[in-house]
């Protein structure tokens, strides 16, 4: 299998001050308890509308953004979620609801749409122990994914994406999940595979402001050292067993290792059940550049009105060889001229990596920053700010022996 090489892909132009997204957390409460979730479900509950406004002010003060991921916790359990969506929309931003979907009813969906919801990202995977879906594997959960995709499509003109946490046990289902997404390319805009990462308390000591923390006192209580980390390369290889031509177009690197892949973006073009090929690095560069030139912001989420315009994207084939290949294959059947060609993104996210020397390799230009005490912080580590007033540092156990952490 081809080894991922960051030089083969377009480095997404997102940065701290000018990015496609920001991550708003109006609540820490959730109606599920997913394995590996980085947010505690018991802290300070729902934010008031004034607090939500203050967070949005911080985003807009520090960062140019296109979309706001409204997450948590589960945002749908917030009693004022409709007003929150309305306020995000009123600021000229795209409200994207990151939810497990448990609390979503057709009525609530209609109200959210009327308030300006742009898209939904449903987190569904086999580690969630969902009521009615206990012990269901990823394939069986496609039935539930389909239900949500249909609900959103029937409500009209909103995007639909799916997140799954990928573990060593569940990764074998990825090719089939990709086939399911291919069949539903007309209603599913994005598939996100978030790779399981263990905290590493057997290998590392952790420190807050230089003070060593006992493993049992760490806020991340779901560290499971018996579980193996999953790497972006493994997921990429698995997808290629089903789709040998599958390839990425863009990436985000790690903060400590410029050649590490943290976000890996692919864009496939097809009709339901058939893939004609993938966007290349130049196509994504044109897309991001044009969006920034004309909208003054980078693009992270594209709704159905954009993703159904796959034929227009083929124009980027002037500079993108892969898109020229897509055009050749698609128009090989002249009847396809009367069909829609859809675009669908596939994102592989490899969160924080613990390096051998204890440094923590984060996503450079983190798209999912949130607000803590008026500052932008990595949302995956906000609980460290909340509980210790700083990000934890770490060192390998063997090399430690003292109480000072490196970083």
Q: Can you give the binding site for ligand SF4, defined by CB under 6 A?
A: 351, 362-363, 366-368, 378-380
Which residue's CB is nearer to ligand SF4, number 13 or number 175?
13
Q: How many CB atoms lie within 10 A of CB 385?
A: 17
Q: Token match 């083929």: residue?
A: 314
CA distance 154 to 244: 33
Which residue's CB is nearer to ligand SF4, number 151 or number 371?
371
Q: How far is the CB of 29 from ligand SF4 (least distance, A)?
A: 19
Which residue's CB is nearer to ligand SF4, number 264 or number 366?
366
Q: How far is the CB of 362 from ligand SF4 (least distance, A)?
A: 4
Contact of 228 with 168, CB cutoff 8 Å: yes
- The beta strands (E) that lie in 313-387 are given as 342-349, 353-354, 360-361, 369-372, 375-378
Handedness of CA 95, 100, 103, 106 (dihedral sign): positive
Which residue's CB is nearer to ligand SF4, number 313 or number 371?
371
Which residue's CB is nearer to ligand SF4, number 21 or number 185?
21
The structure tokens listed for 202 are: 């057997």
Q: How far is the CB of 182 from ligand SF4 (least distance, A)?
A: 26
Which residue's CB is nearer to ligand SF4, number 317 or number 351?
351
CA distance 76 to 151: 16
Reference 285, options 245, 255, 313; nearest CA is 313
The structure tokens listed for 345 are: 């993104």
Q: How far is the CB of 194 from ligand SF4 (least distance, A)?
A: 8
Which residue's CB is nearer to ligand SF4, number 20 or number 317?
20
CA distance 312 to 330: 13
CA distance 150 to 32: 22
| 3-state secondary structure at position 94 | strand
Q: How far is the CB of 9 from ligand SF4 (least distance, A)?
A: 17
């Amino acid at each position: 299998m081809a080894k991922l090489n960051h030089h083969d892909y377009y480095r997404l132009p997102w940065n701290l001050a000018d990015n496609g997204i920001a991550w708003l957390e109006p609540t820490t409460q959730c109606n599920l308890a997913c394995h590996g979730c980085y947010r505690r479900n018991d802290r300070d509950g729902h934010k008031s509308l004034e607090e939500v406004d203050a967070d949005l002010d911080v985003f807009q003060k520090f960062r140019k953004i296109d979309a706001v991921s409204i997450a948590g916790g589960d945002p749908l359990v917030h009693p004022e979620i409709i007003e929150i969506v309305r306020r995000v929309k009123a600021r000229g931003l795209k409200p994207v609801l990151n939810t497990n979907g448990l609390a979503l009813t057709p009525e609530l969906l209609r109200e959210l749409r009327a308030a300006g919801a742009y898209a939904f990202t449903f987190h569904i995977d086999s580690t969630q122990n969902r009521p009615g879906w206990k012990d269901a594997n990823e394939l069986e959960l496609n039935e539930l994914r389909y239900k949500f995709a249909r609900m959103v499509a029937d409500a009209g003109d909103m995007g639909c994406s799916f997140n799954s946490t990928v573990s060593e046990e569940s990764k074998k289902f990825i090719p089939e999940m990709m086939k399911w997404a291919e069949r539903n390319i007309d209603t599913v805009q994005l598939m996100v595979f978030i790779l399981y990462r263990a905290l590493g308390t057997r290998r590392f000591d952790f420190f807050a402001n230089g003070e060593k923390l006992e493993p049992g006192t760490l806020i991340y209580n779901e560290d499971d050292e018996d579980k193996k980390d999953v790497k972006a390369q493994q997921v990429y290889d698995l997808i290629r067993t089903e789709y040998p031509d599958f390839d990425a177009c863009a990436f985000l690197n790690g903060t400590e290792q410029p050649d590490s892949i943290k976000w890996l973006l692919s864009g496939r073009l097809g009709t339901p059940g058939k893939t004609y090929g993938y966007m290349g690095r130049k196509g994504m560069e044109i897309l991001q550049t044009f969006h920034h030139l004309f909208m003054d912001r980078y693009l992270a989420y594209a709704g159905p009105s954009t993703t159904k315009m796959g034929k227009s994207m083929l124009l980027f084939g002037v500079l993108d060889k892969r898109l020229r290949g897509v055009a050749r294959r698609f128009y090989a059947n002249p009847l396809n001229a009367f069909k829609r060609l859809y675009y669908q993104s596939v994102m592989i996210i490899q969160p924080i990596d613990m390096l051998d020397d204890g440094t923590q390799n984060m996503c450079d230009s983190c798209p999912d920053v949130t607000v803590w005490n008026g500052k932008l912080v990595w949302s995956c580590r906000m609980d460290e700010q909340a509980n210790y007033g700083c990000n934890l540092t770490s060192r390998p156990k063997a090399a430690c022996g003292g109480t000072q952490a490196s970083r």
